[in-house]
Amino acid sequence: MVALWALHLYQRKFKDAGMRKRAATLALTLVVIGAWASAWLFNRFGVPDVWLLAVAGAAAAVIAWQHRRMLPFRPRCARCGRAVSVDRILGLDSNTCEACEPPASSNQGETTR
């Protein structure tokens, strides 16, 4: 859980270019917190540990159901298939390598004559 929060804080350096992946880490953190809270409640009220298998199954089902939102991390470029750096895997929503990234327009806001 702490590792997911640390990843979320790391992703803040990418600002708007990584909003989808930041939302994904928060969603994964919520699933982990839900499983942890369930385990605590089971322990508190004496529910047998075998029921934790149902909690793990439910957590896996939620992640599988929402896999496009919760697992947007791709190790390969979506356009050319080359390996992508860890910064791009974890932080940028584009899922493209440096070579396939569209160039940033330097005249944004200026009018052409």
Cα 78 from Cα 102, distance rounded (Å): 13
Tokens encoding 30: 């919520």
From first to last of its 113 residues, what are the pLDDT tens digits of the chain? 888 888 888 888 888 888 999 999 999 999 999 999 999 999 999 999 999 999 999 999 999 999 999 999 999 998 898 999 998 898 888 888 888 887 665 455 555 54
Cα 103–Cα 21–Cα 100 angle in degrees, nearest 5: 25
Q: State how far the Cα of 53 lies from the Cα of 13, in Å rounded to an integer.
A: 37
The reported pLDDT for the residue numbered 103 is 67
The total number of residues shown for the chain amounts to: 113
